[in-house]
Amino acid sequence: MTTAEASSSIERSLAALRATFRARFEAAATEQALRDENAKILGKKGELTAILKQMGSVPAEGRKAIGELVNSVKQEVEAAFEDRLRALARAERDAELNAPPFDLTLPARAPALLGHAHPISRVRDEIVDVLVSLGFAVHDGPEVEREENNFGKLGFPPDHPATDMQDSFWTTGGLLLRTHTSNIQVRAMTRHAPPMAFIAPGATYRRDDDVTHSPMFHQIECFLVDEHVTMANLRGVLAEFAERFFGAGTPVRLRPSYFPFVEPGAEVDVGCPFCRRPDGSRAGCSVCKKTGWIEILGCGLIHPVVFESCGIDPDRWTGFAFGMGVERVAMVKYGIPDVRLLFENDPRFLAQF
């Protein structure tokens, strides 16, 4: 092909492109289709790019004219593309404005999956709600505690097994991760003048890890200080709690037990909610080990030593305290056989709640 023929070929290709690109853009009904068509013309492998590659065969004296022609066509293509892009945007906007209006009173679409409270949080909140309804206020305290607040002021002797390294997580400087929320009882009784009635929910830590224990678990401490408080007051609160939490007619019994910070002390059982007959009796089941009773907490009258260590006159003031493990109560309420299920976060288990 001669140089003259090359120039003529380029001119014919440009003329053909100029005659068709507008129609091609008009035929593009969507923005993506328009951009695809534009790429076929101006892209790296586009038609105009292929024409430019033929410029090497054009004689030097004719390249300027051909170059100006190519640039002119390119500018026309770019301008037509922008015009069509704006036209598509206007058409889309007009369609939105002219469409039937949205009915804002229609209910929203519900998400496919709804989240829910973890069973531990759920049971903790239920316990707190019941005790708050009985007149107790919520009190908070630190999870990293001084030894004197966690043990000393609660009447634990220095050689008590609970203070052993095998039971507690110690840090430095006499600090440890609290082994119970009774440390909040000490802090509240030190800072507030009686009478008082508080609950103290929170995480606690001990060196336990088996099917019924976890190294991190949750407790709720409940204590009341006033004049002339007796075991009868304590039993009345426990009976009302059992009624509201486990259901009407749930019996409560106290068994003598020992805790360093109460005297007398007791462990509390409730009638098993899983084997209760219509007449209120219990048939006995695997959960309660055929006894009809399930232990849920420890309690007692606050020891005078605790009052003295907190600066409260034990000759004037008396009180009771009880504490329960949230996981233990959750296992009882829902028949959960292994406490580790509550911490593994298996969605198949959590979906049941």
The residue ranges of DSSP E strands in the chain, in sequence order, are: 137-138, 144-146, 175-177, 196-205, 216-226, 252-257, 262-271, 293-302, 318-325
196 phi and psi angles, rounded to 5 deg: -155, 155
Of 17 and 159, the structure prediction assigns the larger pLDDT to: 17
Taking the whole predicted model, whether its pTM rises above 0.85 is answered as no
Q: Which fold has domain 120-350?
A: BirA Bifunctional Protein; domain 2 (3.30.930)
Pairing label, strands 144-146, 318-325: unpaired
In the prediction, which pLDDT does 6 show?
Answer: 60
Residue at token pair 């709640």: 353
Q: Is the pLDDT of residue 212 over 60?
A: no
Contact predicate 275/242, CB 8 Å: no
What tokens were used for 247?
């259901």
Pairing state between β 137-138 and 196-205? parallel
Highest mean pLDDT among 16-25, 70-79, 128-137: 128-137
β-bridge partners, 150: none
79-83, 116-120, 130-134, 316-320: least confidently modelled range = 116-120
Rounded to whole angstroms, the Cα distance separating 256 from 81 reads 90
Number of helices (H) and strands (E), helices first, in the chain?
Answer: 12, 9
- Domain boundaries, given as residue ranges, for the chain: 3-98, 120-350
Residue 230 DSSP one-character state: -
CA atoms within 13 A on the CB side of 138: 12
